Every structure is written in structure tokens, then in C-alpha cells.
């Protein structure tokens, strides 16, 4: 029987080391919402036309507000994920801002290939306004520099 116990012991040891190395829980808890939100943005951008039941200027304003809100939320989720690694508010926002802006560029390029959609520099600017609005939100409402310590230290 000692051999069976040793196999189970080594299996648990391997799985524990694998979990420590890749931080699976952290991936699911902090990065899965980021990937899900990116997928939602991609899916909405893949629609030929989004009809929200409004007309005229109201329709345009609601859609443009939605563009900014999408990237406000994306920046928030990315910021949250980087904060989980112990980055400061400022560094997390810088990484979230760059990541969200890059995704906004790819989103506009993607829309170029969708029938009845077009790539718009103005939409990209509206996305940036949403990202910058999140930065202002962080500065105004999240001033306390509370560092979230990682559960496990990363050893290089």
C-alpha cells in the first residue's frame, strides 16, 4: 500500500505545483471576466446593425455612450486584474489603459471587415474617452492605495 500512497502524494504535489505556477484561481477570478467582456465587445461589433428602437440623434447618442461605457468597463476589469497581482492603482490603470486602447484599435479594425459596419476614428476616440473616464474615476474615488497582496509569492 505505501506505493499507492506515494503515487497519490506525488500527484497531489504535482497538481499543487501546477496550481501555484499558473495561478488558476486567479486566472478565473480576475481574468475570466476580462476575456468574457472582450468577447461581448467582439460579438456586439460583429452585428451588422444594432437596432435599439430609438431614432435620430437619441439613437446616435445612446450608441456612442455605449461605446464609451464598453471600454470604461473593460478598463475597470483589466485594472482589477492587475491590482490582484499587487500593482499600484497608477500602474494598474496605465496597464489597463494601454490594454483597453489596443483592444479598441483592434475592435475598430474588426468592424472594417463586418458588412454594413465601418472603421471610425471617432468611435476610437469615444472608446478612449471611456478609458480616460475610468482613470478619472480611479483618481477621484479610489485614492486609498490599498495593495492587494498575492496569496502566493512568485519566485523567479
Task: Identify the band that residue 1 occupies on the pLDDT scale cut at 50, 70 and 90.
Answer: very low
Question: How many Å separate Cα 143 from the centre of its chain?
Answer: 21
Average pLDDT over residues 112-133: 88
In angstroms, the Cα distances linking 35 to 22, 45, 84, 138, 146 are: 17, 15, 16, 22, 25
The predicted pLDDT at position 46 comes to 85
Dihedrals φ, ψ of 54, to 5°? -110, 170
pLDDT tens, residue by residue, 67-85: 889 999 999 999 998 888 7
Other beta carbons within 10 Å of 110: 16
Question: Cell numbers 471617432 correspond to what residue?
Answer: 122
pLDDT tens, residue by residue, 12-56: 666 665 555 556 666 778 888 999 999 999 998 887 776 666 677
> What's the CA gap between 82 and 99, in Å, rounded?
11
Element (DSSP H or E) covering residue 129: helix 121-141
C-alpha cell at 64: 456612442
Amino acid at each position: 500500500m505505501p506505493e499507492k500512497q506515494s503515487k497519490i502524494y506525488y500527484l497531489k504535489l504535482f497538481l499543487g505545483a501546477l496550481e501555484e505556477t499558473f495561478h488558476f484561481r486567479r486566472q478565473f477570478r480576475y481574468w475570466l471576466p476580462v476575456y468574457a467582456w472582450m468577447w461581448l465587445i467582439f460579438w456586439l461589433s460583429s452585428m451588422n446593425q444594432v437596432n435599439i428602437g430609438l431614432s435620430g440623434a437619441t439613437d446616435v447618442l445612446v450608441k456612442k455612450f455605449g461605446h464609451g461605457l464598453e471600454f470604461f468597463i473593460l478598463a475597470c476589469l483589466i485594472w482589477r486584474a492587475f491590482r490582484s497581482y499587487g500593482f499600484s492603482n497608477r500602474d494598474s490603470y496605465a496597464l489597463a489603459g494601454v490594454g483597453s486602447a489596443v483592444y479598441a484599435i483592434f475592435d475598430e479594425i474588426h468592424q472594417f471587415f463586418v458588412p454594413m459596419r465601418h472603421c471610425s476614428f471617432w468611435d476610437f476616440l469615444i472608446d478612449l474617452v471611456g478609458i480616460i473616464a475610468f482613470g478619472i474615476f480611479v483618481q477621484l474615488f479610489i485614492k486609498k492605495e490599498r495593495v492587494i497582496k498575492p496569496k502566493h509569492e512568485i519566485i523567479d
